[in-house]
Chains A and B, each alone.
Chain A
Amino acid sequence: MTDQMIAPVRPETVDIDAAIGILKERFPDAVKDDTREGYGGVIVERGQLVEIATVMRDELGFDYLSSATAVDYLGIEDSMEMVYHAYRTTGGSPLVFKAQTPRENSSVPSLIDIWPGVDFQEREAYDLYGIAFPGHPNQKRILMWEGFNGHPMRKDWKEAYYEEEHKPFDSRWPKGMVRRAEELNVYGKNVEYPADFDLSRLSDDTESSLYAGMGLGVNVEALDNTDELKTDRLVVNLGPHHPSTHGVFRMVVTLNGETIETLEPVMGYLHRNHEQIGERNAWLYNMAFTDRLDYICSMSNNLGYALAVEQLMSRGMRYTPPTYRAEVIRVLMVELTRIVNHLWAIGFLLNDLGAFFTPALYAIAEREKILDFFEATAGSRLMCNYMRFGGVFKDLPERIHSTASLLNDKVRDFDTMQYITELITEALPRAVDELDRFLTDSEIVKTRTIGVGYLPAETAIAYSAAGPLLRGSGVAYDVRRAEPYSIYPELDFDVAVRYNGDIYDRYLIRIDEMRESLRILKQILPRLEHTKGESFFAGNKAVYMPRVALGEAYGRVENPKGELGYYVVSQGDPKGPQNPWRYHVRAPSFINLTALGQMCKGQKVADVVAILGSIDIVLGETDR
């Protein structure tokens, strides 16, 4: 009885250090602290990975595996490792654990049975690093095509246009000599073929390997023995060129009549090697590339990356955190971006429901006004490239010129504060109310969306869903509250949550979130006035090209589409030119798609596009 009287600590609530302590106690041989300089978390013996992961999930309460990625330490340790970040959906910082494997015949047991959300991430690690995942039921390439030569993210793999490991390239700077890469390549193209390439046995097996194992064909006997309507199984390809896939996404659907039996997402049609290019770039250069991840929300992508690198910088000397005004401006931009994204998402969800382009037109009209402000501030409508490590690169302008019809259609010259105040207090609330008024009670929207694409809370967590998809299923998890960053702790807002887990609730969540964003923005306005004239950038320009300490960092933000995380590893010479050793993006659109097949099973084929629309993916981020 005494046990209960001292109120035993529940292991699922202990903090990270205590959790690691419990793990080390349970598995003294298999769990070790990661003692490398600048690293944290634990290194787990890969033979016992599954067992240990089970304990983490079931006993320690880390029910949400956010990110899983591989790192190749060629030349440093001659091993590769898988890095996992696990969270509790009740909030708090991540438990980081790693499993190491030799580079030859590399393999790490699959965690798909513990956290099904690692499905695509393990396939990606297999595709790009060649790590095998015994236990994974569908270990195929995901971004590149089946038959591609090699695993391109390995450090010893060189692309056809390879020049040097680090940018800026010595050949180009400062001497200014340049040979166009095409001129050096004998094919004049970005291609290279292996030396033992046998043209006589050329076969394009990308498609056949896709269709194999889908269980096609008809079982005639089974058909004869039922009284039901005799139907053939049919394979339908939606995409990569399809008006409703929001880009170049492809779904291979098997239909029985009109009902979906299986749905296999096929991606990689926009795989533009973001991570590999990022590892050749200096730290700063990647900022511009993050714009092109989720190209609707460039501002919030910037923030996540800035946070990750600032974490690394803060471990070195001579680091000044971003100024208060910088943080205020950042939150202003990020919340406006959230509204941009949700307007866009709702407009195009309606597109997917069949209301072709008219709702989208209304949504985009409001978005243009925000883009005008972005353009006046950052110089570009879409690819803002606005944030820097330590702040932002430019203060808000005094005045902005805009064609926005806040009052009428003339090109006008506004005072910036007046413009955004009007935007935040009048134009945007009006737009949100308008969408709400026209859509929320619409008979057609309701019939098409209520109860469709159901995703229960447990499944959403298991599949590592994030953002509106997770919160629409009744899990109130928002990084801004779970592990706050920037000035969110001092801001007053609620985490929007809905409980039915269908398309309609995901739509409502977006409306709610826009209202919450407006609430935040209204608190930002006085802070902007208040800090006027203060510094918007900490330190001097030298911070633009930072020298960061050795080690790893994981920065994450609540992007409009879900949790966006950047895992960066620095192994650079602290004196020389530096670029990330590893630069990984935990892309919400990519991981949210893991649940798509599950949600679509048993639905009608016409609902697939609506379900996809309700996840709100963007291909730049999915395929990276």
Chain B
Amino acid sequence: MSSLDLRQLHDTEFPIPDEMQGNLAITSLSKVYNWSRRSSVWPMLFGLACCAIEMIATAAARYDTARFGMEVMRASPRQSDLMIVSGTVTKKMVVPIVRLYNQMPEPKYVLAMGACASGGGPFKEGYNVVSGIDQYVPVDVYVPGCPPTPQALINGLIALQKKIDGQSLANMDDVPWYGVGPSDPVPIPILGPDIIDPRQMGLIRQQAMAAAAGQPYGLRELPTVPMKIVSKTASAAGMVEVDAISVVDEAAEADRKARRQDAVARKRAFLAKS
């Protein structure tokens, strides 16, 4: 929305006299507040890895995030609203990232761009890789892809705008920075023999005690039911039938199938029309 369209803003039942139509709009404060916030989300100028290249391409001429009021990339966390975590988060780097996150003023949002930032991605098993930034800071939008195309990133940014639109000033849970006050800073991880999340200190201490007492430590009891990813029968591909209890919820599965068929039918109908 480049200029304020009064007709769009006007969303109350309140009658406006004829002679003032076009000059006056009555709306909710939340709407104006959110409209101005969603149209000026300033991302932090902050690239981590390969995804950052696509982030730059998104900001550049062809894809142009200026259309969303997001072209103003700030190098300082103090001036930014959105942290696009664009790439692999390593243990060494997560310390500055958490620090930067804590320095951003509220309201602040985090967008995890790409497989790495969302869950470790192709490098997940690496000894220096954090399996997703959400292990340390809360994430608002996840954008899948390796790297996500600029279109996908824009889709993520629009999702963020929708999220902002949905926040109401009337609900203090939505806007805690007005109600309960700013959120607590995320404790900064420590680089010890391996990275240490201060929130896990108790657990680490417990495990260290177990180790000192000669008990098994570090590993968790295996869950009894492993997740079943492929559910092919023995005849289908000559594979061994997995003899674990299936964790697939039948009802949900049927529901999903029905919805998918619906969607396919809709698409067919649409294609037939055009």
Closest chain B residue, CB of each to CB of A285: B122
- Choose, from B5-13, B35-43, B177-185, B204-212, the stretch at the interface: B204-212
Are A161 and B93 within 8 A (Cβ)? no
Among candidates B53, B197, B218, residue contacting A296 with C-beta atoms closer than 8 Å: B53
Assess whether A180 is interfacial by the CB under 8 Å rule. yes
Are B48 and A270 within 8 A (Cβ)? yes
Closest chain A residue, CB of each to CB of B54: A382
Are B93 and A178 within 8 A (Cβ)? no
- Choose, from A85-93, A287-295, A468-476, A594-602, the stretch at the interface: A287-295
Q: Which of chain B's residues have a CB closer than 8 A to the CB of A296?
A: 53
Assess whether A236 is interfacial by the CB under 8 Å rule. no
Complex: how many Å from CA A240 to CA B122?
Answer: 23
Complex: how many Å from CA A323 to CA B120?
Answer: 38
Among candidates A183, A241, A276, residue contacting B127 with C-beta atoms closer than 8 Å: A276
Q: Which of chain A's residues have a CB closer than 8 A to the CB of B48?
A: 247-248, 270
Among candidates B90, B220, B226, residue contacting A186 with C-beta atoms closer than 8 Å: B220
Are B90 and A272 within 8 A (Cβ)? yes
Q: Which of chain A's residues have a CB closer than 8 A to the CB of B127?
A: 152, 159-160, 190, 273, 276
Closest chain B residue, CB of each to CB of A369: B62
Q: Which of chain A's residues have a CB closer than 8 A to the CB of B229?
A: 176-178
Closest chain A residue, CB of each to CB of B195: A191
Q: Which of B36-79 contact A (CB under 8 A)?
A: 45-50, 52-54, 56-57, 60-62, 75
Complex: how many Å from CA A21 to CA B75?
Answer: 58
Assess whether B239 is interfacial by the CB under 8 Å rule. yes
Complex: how many Å from CA A273 to CA B146?
Answer: 17
> Do A193 and B207 contact each other (CB < 8 Å), given the known contacts A177-B242, A178-B227, A268-B92?
yes
> What's the tally of chain A residues with a CB closer than 8 Å to chain B?
73
Assess whether A451 is interfacial by the CB under 8 Å rule. no
Complex: how many Å from CA A177 to CA B205?
Answer: 32
The prevalent SS among residues of A at the interface is: loop
Give, as a whole number of angstroms, the nearest-CB distance from A54 to chain B.
Answer: 36
Assess whether A438 is interfacial by the CB under 8 Å rule. no
Assess whether A213 is interfacial by the CB under 8 Å rule. no
Complex: how many Å from CA A195 to CA B214?
Answer: 9
Are B92 and A145 within 8 A (Cβ)? yes
Q: Which of chain B's residues have a CB closer than 8 A to the CB of A196?
A: 211
Assess whether A548 is interfacial by the CB under 8 Å rule. no
- Choose, from B16-24, B154-162, B186-194, B265-273, the stretch at the interface: B186-194
Complex: how many Å from CA A189 to CA B240?
Answer: 32
Among candidates B88, B131, B200, B239, residue contacting A175 with C-beta atoms closer than 8 Å: B239
> Do A190 and B120 contact each other (CB < 8 Å), given the known contacts A147-B193, A240-B93, A277-B125?
yes
Assess whether B130 is interfacial by the CB under 8 Å rule. yes
Give, as a whole number of angstroms, the nearest-CB distance from A97 to chain B.
Answer: 30
Assess whether B203 is interfacial by the CB under 8 Å rule. yes
Question: What is the 8 Å Cβ interface bit string for chain A, positions 396-420, against chain B (1 contact, 0 not)?
Answer: 0000000100000000000000000
Question: What is the 8 Å Cβ interface bit string for chain A, positions 159-171, against chain B (1 contact, 0 not)?
Answer: 1111100000000
Q: Which of chain B's residues have a CB closer than 8 A to the CB of A204?
A: 190-192
The prevalent SS among residues of B at the interface is: loop
Are B193 and A197 within 8 A (Cβ)? yes
Complex: how many Å from CA A187 to CA B223?
Answer: 15
Most A CB contacts (10 A, CB to CB) among B49, B123, B127 go to B127
- Choose, from A41-49, A217-225, A359-367, A567-575, the stretch at the interface: A359-367
Closest chain A residue, CB of each to CB of B241: A175
Complex: how many Å from CA A189 to CA B211?
Answer: 19
Assess whether B31 is interfacial by the CB under 8 Å rule. no
Are B204 and A292 within 8 A (Cβ)? no
Give, as a whole number of angstroms, the nearest-CB distance from A589 to chain B.
Answer: 13
Closest chain A residue, CB of each to CB of B93: A269
Q: Which of chain B's residues have a CB closer than 8 A to the CB of A450?
A: none
Among candidates A174, A195, A247, A273, residue contacting B128 with C-beta atoms closer than 8 Å: A273
Q: Which of B128-145 contact A (CB under 8 A)?
A: 128-131, 135
Among candidates A177, A360, A403, residue contacting B226 with C-beta atoms closer than 8 Å: A177
Complex: how many Å from CA A180 to CA B203?
Answer: 20
Among candidates A240, A270, A273, residue contacting B87 with C-beta atoms closer than 8 Å: A270
Give, as a whole number of angstroms, the nearest-CB distance from B113 to chain A.
Answer: 13
Among candidates B75, B130, B203, B218, residue contacting A190 with C-beta atoms closer than 8 Å: B130
Give, as a whole number of angstroms, the nearest-CB distance from B54 to chain A.
Answer: 6
Further pairs besides A174-B239, A190-B131: 11, Cβ < 8 Å: A187-B204, A190-B127, A190-B129, A193-B207, A195-B211, A196-B211, A197-B211, A269-B92, A271-B92, A273-B127, A382-B147
Sample 28 A-B pairs with CB under 8 A, ordered by A number: A144-B92, A147-B191, A148-B191, A160-B127, A161-B124, A174-B239, A176-B228, A179-B222, A182-B131, A186-B218, A187-B203, A188-B135, A190-B126, A191-B194, A193-B193, A193-B204, A248-B47, A269-B96, A270-B48, A272-B49, A272-B90, A272-B123, A273-B129, A295-B53, A365-B60, A368-B62, A619-B49, A620-B49
Q: Which 6 pairs between the two chains have the least Cβ-Cβ distance?
A: A273-B126, A176-B230, A149-B193, A295-B50, A159-B127, A272-B123
